[in-house]
Structure 1
Amino acid sequence: MRKVIITFTLLSSILLSGCSVLEEVNSSLEYVNEATEHINTWKDFGEEAPQMIQEAAADANAKEELETKLNEMLVEIEEFNNTDAPAIAESVHQQIVDKNQAIKDVIENAMVDGEVVLEKLQDSQLYTLINEVTTMMNLLEELGS
């Protein structure tokens, strides 16, 4: 009877530790997918932004669309920054959060009373910061593999 209890206990602990590892792997993969989506959002915005800014300089409607997009990006930053990263991804997550904060500061500094000041946005380091965020894709690929 004692052997059965010991065997059962050992098997239970092996199964439970296996479930824990599986949960950590799933959590890591979910995080990698979410972070990849976030970085792709910035990549897409970085590609669209120059044209949007140019159009905003000539058209009030385009400027309003740019302001809306910038506000959406600020929400995106907040949502991603509040994501719980698995232990294996904490350092990568913190790096992305730091870049997000820098981008957020640039966007907020380019906005005055809810309106974008195009010159401030054009003269900012927005594109440099977006490029830096997109280069973090390599770190995520390493986590995902």
Structure 2
Amino acid sequence: MRKLMVLLLVVSSMMLSACTWFESANQTVQYADSAQEHIHRLTDFAEQAPQMIQDAATNPETKRQLEERLVALKEDIEQFNLMDAPAMAKDLHQQIIEKNQVLLQEINDALVNGHLALDQLQNSPILQTITDITGLLNRIENLGL
């Protein structure tokens, strides 16, 4: 009887540790998916921004749309920075946050008093900063494995 109880205890412990491992793996995959989505939104903006910036100089509607995209991007960055990363991704998440902070400052510089200052955006390193963040995509993709 005693052997049976010990065996049940051992099996229960193994099942609990397996559940914890699966939960941790699931959190890591969810984080990787969220981080990839974040970077894809940044990449989409970086691909469309040069043409939008050029058009915004002569088209007030495009300027308004560009301003809205920057505000939405800023909100997305702020939300991403608040995420809790799983232990496996803590260092990577911190690197993204640091680059996001730089990007937030650049966006804030381009949004003077809440409105797009086109000359500030044209002279800003926003697109290069996004490229720097995009460089972390391979590491993020490896988390989801």
Fold match by TM threshold 0.5 = yes
Structure 2: 5+ residue stretches without partners: none
The alignment partner of 1:94 has SS state of: helix
Aligned length: 145
Query: What displacement does 1:143 show?
Result: 1.6
Q: Quick check: 1:130 aligned with 2:98?
A: no
Query: What displacement does 1:60 show?
Result: 1.1
The alignment partner of 1:45 has SS state of: helix
Give, in whole Å, the separation in 1 of the partners of 2:139 and 2:123: 29
Per-residue deviation, residues 52-80 of structure 1 (Å, max 9, x unmatched): 11111111111111111100001100111
Per-residue deviation, residues 87-111 of structure 1 (Å, max 9, x unmatched): 0001111111111111110010111
Query: What displacement does 1:142 show?
Result: 2.1
**Aligned residues with identical type, % of pairs:** 41
Structure 1: 5+ residue stretches without partners: none
Give, in whole Å, the separation in 2 of the partners of 1:126 and 1:99: 11
Query: What displacement does 1:120 show?
Result: 0.9
Alignment of structure 1 residues 39-50 onto 2, 5 Å: 39-50=39-50
- Tell me the TM-score normalized by structure 2: 0.97
The alignment partner of 2:124 has SS state of: coil
Q: Quick check: 1:98 aligned with 2:98?
A: yes
RMSD: 0.8
